[in-house]
Chain A
Amino acid sequence: MHDIASLSLSDVWAGYDGPDILKGISLEVQPGRIVTVVGPNGHGKSTLLKAISGLIRVRRGDITLSGRSVLPLSPHRIAATGVVHVPQGDLLFPNMSVYENLLMGAYGERDAKQTAQRLDEVYALLPRLAERHRQIASSLSGGERRMAGIGRGLMAGGRILMLDEPSLGLAPLVIEQIYDVIGKLRAQGRTILLVEENPARVADLCDDMHLLDDGHIVWSGPPHELMGRDELLAAYLGG
Chain B
Amino acid sequence: MLDTVVTVLTTGLTNGALYALATIGLSLVWGSMGMFNMAHGAMLALGGYLTFTVCTQLGLPLPVAVIAAVAGGALFGVLLYLVVVQRLLARSTEHFETSVMIATAGISIALEEALLVAFGGQPLKQPFTVSGNLHLGQSVVPLLDLADVVIALIVMGLTYWFLSGTKMGRAIRATAQNRDAAVLMGVPVQRIFLQALAISGALAGICGVLMSSVTQLTPWFGDDPMLKAFIMCVVAGLGNLPGAIAASFCLAIIEAAVEFLAGARWGFPALLFIVIAILIWRPAGLFGRSQIRRL
A196 to B273, CA, bound (A): 52
A96 lies within 8 A of B186 (CB): no
A108 to B171, CA, bound (A): 11
- Asked, given contacts A107-B167, A107-B171, whether A93 binds B177 with beta carbons under 8 Å apart, the answer is yes
- B170: CB under 8 A from chain A? yes
- Asked, given contacts A91-B180, A93-B177, A95-B294, whether A108 binds B186 with beta carbons under 8 Å apart, the answer is yes
A87 lies within 8 A of B170 (CB): no
- B184: CB under 8 A from chain A? yes
- B183: CB under 8 A from chain A? yes
In the assembled complex, which residues on chain B have CB atoms less than 8 Å from the CB atom of A47?
none
Residues 270-295 of B, flagged 1 when their CB comes within 8 A of A and 0 if not, give 00000000000000000000001011
A95 to B180, CA, bound (A): 15
In the assembled complex, which residues on chain A have CB atoms less than 8 Å from the CB atom of B252?
none
- A80: CB under 8 A from chain B? yes
- Asked, given contacts A92-B178, A94-B178, A95-B294, whether A53 binds B184 with beta carbons under 8 Å apart, the answer is yes
Q: Which of chain B's residues 182-216 have a Cβ closer than 8 Å to chain A?
A: 182-189
B181 lies within 8 A of A91 (CB): yes
- A214: CB under 8 A from chain B? no
Q: Which of chain B's residues 142-193 have a Cβ closer than 8 Å to chain A?
A: 167, 170-171, 173-174, 177-178, 180-189
A100 to B171, CA, bound (A): 10
Nearest CB in chain B: distance from A18 CB, A: 15
B171 lies within 8 A of A93 (CB): no
A91 to B292, CA, bound (A): 12
- Asked, given contacts A96-B170, A104-B171, A107-B167, whether A156 binds B185 with beta carbons under 8 Å apart, the answer is yes
B180 lies within 8 A of A55 (CB): yes
Total count of chain A residues near the partner, CB < 8 A: 25
Identify the closest chain A residue to B177 (Cβ). Answer: A93
- A105: CB under 8 A from chain B? yes
Residues 11-48 of B, flagged 1 when their CB comes within 8 A of A and 0 if not, give 00000000000000000000000000000000000000
In the assembled complex, which residues on chain B have CB atoms less than 8 Å from the CB atom of A105?
185
In the assembled complex, which residues on chain A have CB atoms less than 8 Å from the CB atom of B178?
91-94
In the assembled complex, which residues on chain B have CB atoms less than 8 Å from the CB atom of A75?
183-184
A95 lies within 8 A of B177 (CB): yes
In the assembled complex, which residues on chain B have CB atoms less than 8 Å from the CB atom of A80?
186
A76 lies within 8 A of B181 (CB): no
- Asked, given contacts A95-B294, A96-B173, whether A79 binds B186 with beta carbons under 8 Å apart, the answer is yes
Residues 51-75 of A, flagged 1 when their CB comes within 8 A of B and 0 if not, give 0010100000000000000000011
Identify the closest chain B residue to A155 (Cβ). Answer: B185
B181 lies within 8 A of A92 (CB): yes
In the assembled complex, which residues on chain A have CB atoms less than 8 Å from the CB atom of B295?
95
A94 to B291, CA, bound (A): 12
- Asked, given contacts A94-B292, A95-B294, whether A87 binds B184 with beta carbons under 8 Å apart, the answer is yes
Residues 130-169 of A, flagged 1 when their CB comes within 8 A of B and 0 if not, give 0000000000000000000000100010000000000000
Interface of A toward B, CB cutoff 8 Å = 53, 55, 74-77, 79-80, 84-85, 87, 91-96, 100, 103-105, 107-108, 152, 156
Interface of B toward A, CB cutoff 8 Å = 167, 170-171, 173-174, 177-178, 180-189, 292, 294-295
Residue contacts A-B, CB under 8 angstroms, 26 given: A53-B184, A55-B183, A55-B184, A74-B188, A75-B183, A76-B183, A76-B188, A79-B186, A80-B186, A91-B178, A91-B180, A93-B174, A93-B178, A94-B178, A95-B292, A96-B173, A96-B174, A103-B167, A104-B170, A104-B171, A104-B174, A107-B171, A107-B185, A107-B187, A108-B185, A156-B185
